Structures are given as C-alpha cells and as structure tokens.
Amino acid sequence: VLSGMQLTIPPSPHLVFGAGVAGQLPDAVRALGGERAFVVADPGVVVAGLVEPLVEKCRAAGIDVEVFDGVQPNPTDVDVATGLAALRSFGDAVVVAIGGGSAMDSAKCMALAADNEGEGIDYCFHPQVGDDGRIDFSTLAPPRFPTAPARSVVAVPTTSGTASETNGAGIVTDTTAGRKLAFTNDDVRPRRVLLDPLLTVGLPAYPTATCGMDALTHAIEAFTSLLAQPLTDAIALGAIEMVATWLPRAVADGTDAEARAQMMLAAHMAGIAFSSGPLLGLVHAAGHPLSARLKAAHGQTLAVMLPHVMAFNAPVVADKYARVAVALGVADSTASSEDNTQRAIDAVRALSETVGTATTISGLGGTEDQRDVLVEDALSDPVILTTPRPPTRAEVAELYRAAW
Ligand SMILES: [Fe+2]
C-alpha cells in the first residue's frame, strides 16, 4: 500500500555505461583524489588480458598501480587476508575491482578493513540459527565494527550477473566454518562504476549463463521480496524482460555486442532493484551453501534452486509471478494467476535448459550426508529475512530434496 509507505531512494553512484568506457579508469581514480590504485582482480580476468591495458592507462596518467590477482571464485577469508596485507603495505590508494562478483566483493571487504583492525572476515555477520529455525539476532553482529573510513572503491565489472557494483555488501567464505558470510557497509559502495560491455565479450558461454541466471534471480527475488516497492518492481520487471530476451543470444554467440550490452545493463538494473531496499530471498539463501560447500558457481546454484523456490513461494506471491510471466513473455492474459505462475516457472526452467544451467544438486556433486548442514546454513543466511514465505527447517530440507 503506497500511501502507507515511507521510501528511501538512494542516489546512484557516479556511473558510466557504454562500449569502451573502461578506458576512463584513470579519470575515475583521479576524481576520488587518488594518485595510487590498488587493483583487485581474479587470475582469469588477468589471463583474458583485461587488466593489463587498464593498468597501463593508469600508469600513463601518472597513477601508481599495484595489482593483486589472488581472488578465486567464491572468494575466501584467506584470499581477502592476503590481498588486505598487500593493500596495507602498498599504503593509501583507491581500491579498483576489475572482475566479477568475486573480485568486487573481495575488493570491498579489503577496502572496509584496510584502515581498521583485524581481518576482512571480522566485519562479516556471524549469524546462528535458534531452535525455532530462525536467525538468532543476538548472534548476528560482526566481531568488529569499523572506526576508520573505508578506502574509496571503483568497480569495473567484467561479467553481467552479480551487480556487486550497486551496493556496499559482499560475501566471503569462512574457510573455518565452510560457509559464506556477508558484510554490508555503505562506505564501500563503489563511488565510480564503469560498465563496459566490451569487457564481457570474451567470457565463455557457461559463465555467461551462470551470471545471467544470477541476474534473473536478483530481479525475481527483489520483485517478490517482503520489502518490494513500486520503484524497484519496475526496474526488476525490466531486467527480467531483458534477460529473457538477450541471455540466450549472449550465450549462443559471445561476440554479439548488442546481447552483451543488454545483459550488462540488465544485470545492473537487477542489482539496483535488490540493492535499493528489497534485498533477496530463499533462492540466494539456499544457493549460498551449495556454492560454498560444492564449489559450484553462484549463479549455477541459483539456477538449480530457482524453480523449486518459486513453486514453494507461489501460494503467497502468485499475482506477482503472473507479472513475471508477462516479463518473460509467456503469460496468457485469459488464464489465472496460478496458471501464469506455472508458466513463469516453466519458462525459467526452459531458459535454464537453453543456456545450459539445468542440473541438480547431485549433478553438482552433492552427497546426501551434506543435506542437514546445508539446511542450517540456508536458515542462517540473512538474505532469508526478506523472502515472501519464510520456510521451516523441514520445508528447506524438502526444497533441497526436490532439487537433489
Ligand atoms: Fe546473486
């Protein structure tokens, strides 16, 4: 009910979109007062040749650059600690993330901890689940809170999915506990963002697909969140339509410049939708434990869980899923919301088949003995707090069983 809502609409960070805009990196660093840049990247992005030209541009502009390329997919506390030590010894610098969600999340975590005590993982929430299957809020707080400001962050995404450039949050795997932990601090929301679709042209079909399914999930979860609101609903629906239209083309032909551009903006829009208040839901809560424990790609685990969670949520958000069916281009205007919900679920499954992410948890290497710990991890993930139909322990276990 809009008349009873008070909305917070955050300003966009300085953002440029377009082919070739990554070349503006030296200006972005300078605009933040930086004469030194600490670049955080993953080895794949370095091997793909995306980092060196940007580093050279910065050096040609008189900016002192150090590159840390030790970020692995599903980045860990160890990766962040190694990069953080390098950042601290490099000294005052703008932190520049060049890569996908792993590079951006790690860079933000390093920027947060750089001038504060301890390690990056100390700034993550450490939630535990109570006997009632809900997060015990007395356990949620991070071990440390920052007292010094974070370093400024510039984001140069090289994938179209995570949209980590839209917020100050991130996910780091706690290697001791084997689970993913989240941090959030608006101080590390990137202050300059260069969205250059040319950087995604070399991304192979499979990661293009998993990232695209991540973007689709962000949009659907933002749209059906308990904190959804009209402004973000419109952006989310726009993103869903763009993913449905363009992801198959980007996967089929990575050199399709229009598909790459559409997907980059779609992923960013989906990120704006969830980062502007609605947040996410049970697909991400159930997906994070799978990527943490099975080393599967984040978007792959979401693609596995998404149709099952939609079926679970259907009784409470069928009207919204009917609008998702419209955005996906499969709605029947004469059919009921329930029928159109089924059409939306079928379309998500079909898209996942088309782009090559349709599989099961056992297909990702999951073994039955892992299920109990997966359930506990999912219930403890703070992204579960905005899911439209809060599940019980037994219901999460049943969802995993259905996806097995
Ligand atoms: Fe995601």
Could you report the per-residue pLDDT of 336-394, keeping only the tens digit for each? 999 999 999 999 999 999 999 999 999 999 999 999 999 999 999 999 999 999 999 99
Q: How far is the CA of 402 from the centre of ligand 1 (A)?
A: 21
Least Cα distance to 200 among 267, 142, 149 occurs for 267
Q: What is the pLDDT of residues 101-131, one digit of tens each?
A: 999 999 999 999 999 999 999 999 999 999 9
Q: Band of the pLDDT at 9, cuts 50, 70, 90?
A: low
On the question of pLDDT at 37 being above 70, the answer is: yes
Least Cα distance to 24 among 203, 198, 196, 265 occurs for 196
Q: How far is the CA of 167 from the centre of ligand 1 (A)?
A: 12
Instruction: Kindly give, in sequence order, each residue whose CB lies less than 8 Å from that of residue 33, ignoring residues fewer than 6 positions away.
Output: 94, 152
Q: What is the pLDDT of residues 246-296, one digit of tens each?
A: 999 999 999 999 999 999 999 999 999 999 999 999 999 999 999 999 999
Residue position matching structure tokens 């980590």: 164
Q: How far is the CA of 253 from the centre of ligand 1 (A)?
A: 23
Q: Which conformational region is residue 70 in: left (phi greater than 0), alpha (psi within -120 to 50 degrees), or beta?
A: alpha
Q: How far is the CA of 215 from the centre of ligand 1 (A)?
A: 7
- Give the C-alpha separation, 133 to 108, whole Å: 31
pLDDT value at position 134? 94
Q: How far is the CA of 299 from the centre of ligand 1 (A)?
A: 7
Q: Band of the pLDDT at 4, cuts 50, 70, 90?
A: confident
CA distance to 1, 349, 363, per residue, from 245 (Å) = 31, 15, 27
Q: How far is the CA of 91 from the centre of ligand 1 (A)?
A: 32
> 60, exposed or middle or buried, with CB in 10 Å at 0-12, 13-18, 19+?
exposed
pLDDT value at position 103? 97
Is the separation of the CB atoms in 227 and 276 below 8 Å? Answer: no
On the question of pLDDT at 7 being above 80, the answer is: no
Is the separation of the CB atoms in 123 and 144 below 8 Å? Answer: yes
Residues forming a β-bridge with 129: 135
Q: DSSP letter at 274? A: H
Q: Report CA 167 to chain centroid distance, whole Å.
A: 10
Q: What is the pLDDT of residues 205-256, one digit of tens each?
A: 999 999 999 999 999 999 999 999 999 999 999 999 999 999 999 999 999 9
pLDDT value at position 10? 63
- Give the C-alpha separation, 238 to 88, whole Å: 41
Pairing mode, strands 94-99 and 153-157:
parallel
Q: How far is the CA of 36 from the centre of ligand 1 (A)?
A: 31
CA distance to 10, 89, 147, 248, 355, per residue, from 352 (Å) = 33, 44, 44, 9, 5
Pairing mode, strands 169-174 and 179-184:
antiparallel
Q: Band of the pLDDT at 6, cuts 50, 70, 90?
A: confident
pLDDT value at position 12? 67
Backbone angles phi, psi at 141, to 5 degrees: -60, 145
On the question of pLDDT at 5 being above 80, the answer is: no
Q: How far is the CA of 47 from the centre of ligand 1 (A)?
A: 24
Q: How far is the CA of 295 from the centre of ligand 1 (A)?
A: 15
Q: Band of the pLDDT at 78, cuts 50, 70, 90?
A: very high
Q: What percent of the chain has pLDDT over 90?
A: 95
Q: What percent of the chain has pLDDT over 70?
A: 97
Residue position matching structure tokens 């499969």: 330
Q: How far is the CA of 285 from the centre of ligand 1 (A)?
A: 10
Hey, which bits of 27-131 come out as E strands?
A: 36-41, 64-68, 94-99, 128-129
Residues forming a β-bridge with 66: 38
- Give the C-alpha separation, 339 to 334, whole Å: 10
Q: How far is the CA of 296 from the centre of ligand 1 (A)?
A: 13
CA distance to 16, 97, 159, 210, per residue, from 19 (Å) = 10, 18, 14, 22
> 34 or 83: whose pLDDT is higher?
83
User: Which residue blocks in 156-279 are alpha helix, DSSP H?
Assistant: 205-224, 230-252, 257-275
What mean pLDDT do residues 121-149 have? 94
Q: Band of the pLDDT at 329, cuts 50, 70, 90?
A: very high
